[in-house]
Structure 1
């Protein structure tokens, strides 16, 4: 199997950023992946004592599909986050300062309008990631599984609907489910697959148009008897991964 794409999502629910290569660290997500989030005003998130919360507490495509129309870019060196809305002037905010985070939160809250609950906060917490599961991990999708779904429904689905970190080709449909409890070699890193990814309403949103023009969870259940696409894997041995690298299940090396 071959790595075709690597993505990070610096702000939960916002733009994917393609990477040619990245270094994985044991027990961690991709660097800067889901580092920031827009916490709704009623979200009980405390940056000083961060704990995992369900996605409904944050701006997310499951509820706020209009977020797909925002184009964002994050510069880890400067801490600057650029946001370009579909209409009106863009903004550049400094994620490192309280004033900059407040400016970003105000911009996003104004854009969401009635979907913003209370006074949202643009938040981060060192070492914390706003992922959909409590374990720090990497999400992987076999493109053959996605293509099987596309054939079943007769519709092309942008892979970015599913917001995975790594997309691989060269496997048979659904073969990634066979890796559960097993180690895989991904480029120079070793990971252990621990969970299938159950898909939610976020995947209904077309990332180009922000229109809910498909129902992947429902279609998966109707055609395949489950609502899963992709797997989560925990990094147990760090290393560099790059587009073009191989992914190999390590059969016989179960732990």
Structure 2
């Protein structure tokens, strides 16, 4: 088995960035989901579930700074907020936290593009969230993913789903960080610990999927047949949840590169 793809999402719900290599540590892949759009009025987070055009927001992250691109917009450089930047209260599912606001210029840029007053916020490591109750350790943290620092999917699992649907689904519908090739379909369901390169990972829980997966990442359009959820429901539903992929946390830090061997411990 080997690591066949690496993806990060600099802005939560924004376009994926395909990587050849990446540092990995406490918060997952370096620069992954450290930025997030929130409603200006109440700090509630925005995602493609309600705003599918966010999938067309491209963010290239480098050393804590972003280059943002969106249809019809002039590209904009955004610098990570300083340590003394104003804090904004935000809500991400059941979590409430205070994080630095990225400023008025980018807020205006994004608000004009979306047609809604929004702010862009940033998560420095010292303000990262704990994981959901009952998972991970007291040390584990996450920035702005839904709950966990890393998501792994086996290529064999997607291949089996494609076979059942009768046409290929883009892996990016499922927003993984790590794609592993060479394992049987859904082999990852049985893993507890794995090693990639020199870094060990704990497999924490299956990923519960939602309507997000029915959005085509290339076009932002929803599937009229509600695929892949319609097919997943026929064989991947457990106690009302539809499961696809596994959430992970890294033990320590290190370097990942496409092609690295994946070992089940």
Structure 2 length-normalised TM: 0.78
2:168 paired residue among 156, 169, 175: 156
2:59 alignment counterpart: 72
Q: Deviations over 1:66-120 (max 9, x none)?
A: 112233322226x2x222222343333334366963222222222222xx3xx42
Cα separation, 1, equivalents of 2:45 and 2:70: 19
Q: CA deviation at 1:194?
A: 0.9
Q: Deviations over 1:177-221 (max 9, x none)?
A: 111xx2111221001101100111111111111111243233211
1:122 alignment counterpart: 120
Name the CA shift for 1:173/1:43 in 2 (closer, same or farther; >3 Å). Answer: farther
Instruction: Tell whether the 8 Å contact from 1:37 to 1:124 is kept in structure 2 after alignment.
Output: yes
Cα separation, 2, equivalents of 1:43 and 1:162: 28
Structure having the higher strand fraction is: 2
Does 2:182 correspond to 1:184? Answer: no
2:95 alignment counterpart: none
Q: CA deviation at 1:138?
A: 1.6
2:256 alignment counterpart: 241
Instruction: Tell whether the 8 Å contact from 2:236 to 2:244 is kept in structure 1 after alignment.
Output: no
Q: CA deviation at 1:42?
A: 4.3
Q: Deviations over 1:13-59 (max 9, x none)?
A: 1121122222322x332111110101113445xxxxxxxxxxxx322
Structure 1 length-normalised TM: 0.81
Instruction: Tell whether the 8 Å contact from 2:10 to 2:59 is kept in structure 1 after alignment.
Output: no
Q: CA RMSD in A?
A: 2.0
Q: Deviations over 1:135-158 (max 9, x none)?
A: 4x2211101111111111112111
Q: Which runs of 5 or more residues in structure 2 are unaligned?
A: 86-100, 129-142
2:203 paired residue among 184, 189, 193: 193
1:152 aligned counterpart, secondary structure: helix
Cα separation, 1, equivalents of 2:157 and 2:103: 39
1:205 alignment counterpart: 215
1:33 aligned counterpart, secondary structure: coil
Structure having the higher helix fraction is: 1
Aligned residues: 227
